[in-house]
Amino acid sequence: MADIYSKLIRGTAVYAIGNFGSKILLFALVPIVSFFLTKEELGEYDLVQTAMNLLIPIFSAQIFNGTYRWLLEKKTKTPPQTVILNGLTICVVGLLLFSILYFITSEFIPLSISFVTGLLLLGSSMFFQYFQFVARGLGKSRLFSYSGILYSFILVISTFLLLKIFAVGVEGLYWSIIAANLVGSVFLFFTSKIYLYTKIASYDLTTLKEMLHFSLPLIPNQISWWLITASDKFLILKILSADMNGIYAISSRFPAIMTIINSIFLLAWQDFTIKDDGQDVRVNTRLFNTYMRVQFGMVLLLAPLSELTVKFLVDAKFYEAYKYMPILYLGVAYSAMAGYFGAIYLKSRNTIGVFTTSIVGGIVNILITFLLMKNVGLYASAIGTFVSFFLIVLIRILQTKKVMPIKVPFPEMLFFTILSLSLSFFVVHFDVRVNLLIFLFTSILVFYFNKNIFIKIKNRIVK
């Protein structure tokens, strides 16, 4: 048990080096863009980013995951140069297809960004993400982390320069992302020595087919995930307005605090599950229960501070954003738990299972958002996100029992869920002073339920 915890702690620590620093830098973008862009401009930028998040998995054929899986798995006898070149080939072909389709589409439909900007935005994002997965697959997690810091640093600095100094508007955000992607890609290409694995002779069609067989089912899964986390923004634009889209964009940025911590652990957890046999029920249960309590703990600590956070960090025109944050925090918690069980699907190569659960969540999210938005406004998106992830977690718990058995404490999960939803009501209907008292209460509660974690941290510090 101690050895398992040590492996996860070491893996988490490596990813924390880069991810925490990079995500904190990205979080600094929230006040920058809120002060220099209008609600409509921020809404437009968010829609473009949302579209890119859908297009990248489609045109990359999700080969990132296939490459990572083949490189990391010890049982495979495929040379790494074959795996990497196969993946790179798919990325190049995908970018060419995107170029053709984008050019044709732009001739008939007016798009908000130019052909060159769109091509560079998708292409640079695709290759940077691919090189990051390659670095992880080659066991160079530190370089993966450093690339994240470098990317974020370039993005924040270039965004500030283009928005504040040169005042180029929303276009500056797109070029900041392109610059950050290119710098990050070049860094990984040379430091990870990816150039050594790109010999044409290494190409193997049989291996490529196997990789695609693993990766292709993840495309509809990503589309389903996109339906849960991003499709709301198009419904907001259609039913409400671009201004409201800007407000929701700010509101959804703050749960990134939780995503920072979750993404660090989930990367290490994904590495661990693929390598480990994972049949110890006691160990699996303790790991998940600890992870679940940490998730709810973050919700209980962050939700009461929503109004205070927006008041001091964001321009006044986005003040309304705080109202939707508590429910979104809860949605992120369940998203993290869904990701926890998602890694188990990857372990068993059951990518179909990942897809089916995600498609259920995606459909539920769209239905709830569409049916409720005219009556409750942006709350519909937040509620839809939470409910869809909640359902995904329940289904995945049942489906992954045979691969990695876990005894989930459902009464405790239900208690924290109801308490978190109650906080959503209090945050909106009471002022900052009352919410600070609530924060004090939830802090005591979080410490009580996570006291073993705090004791272990204290003992490590003392040692």
3-class secondary structure for 65-79?
HHHHHHHHCCCCCCC
Choose between 252 and 107: higher pLDDT: 252
Using alpha carbons, select from 152, 454, 420 the residue that is nearest to residue 306.
420
| pLDDT per residue as tens digits for the range 234-274 | 888 889 888 888 888 888 888 877 876 776 666 666 666 55
In angstroms, the CA 25 to CA 383 distance is 28
pLDDT of residue 4: 54
Using alpha carbons, select from 262, 357, 250 the residue that is nearest to residue 29.
250
pLDDT of residue 15: 57
Mention every residue, 6+ apart, whose C-beta is less than 8 A from residue 327: 379, 382, 383, 385, 386, 421, 424
The answer to whether 99 and 32 have CB atoms below 8 angstroms apart is: no
Rounded mean pLDDT, 336-350:
75
pLDDT of residue 75: 54
| pLDDT per residue as tens digits for the range 183-205 | 999 999 999 998 888 776 667 78
In angstroms, the CA 225 to CA 215 distance is 15
The answer to whether 65 and 133 have CB atoms below 8 angstroms apart is: yes
In angstroms, the CA 32 to CA 221 distance is 33
Is 17 a residue whose pLDDT tops 90? no
Return the ∠ at Cα 81 (arms to 77 and 85), rounded to 5°.
Answer: 120
Rounded mean pLDDT, 312-334:
90
pLDDT of residue 355: 75
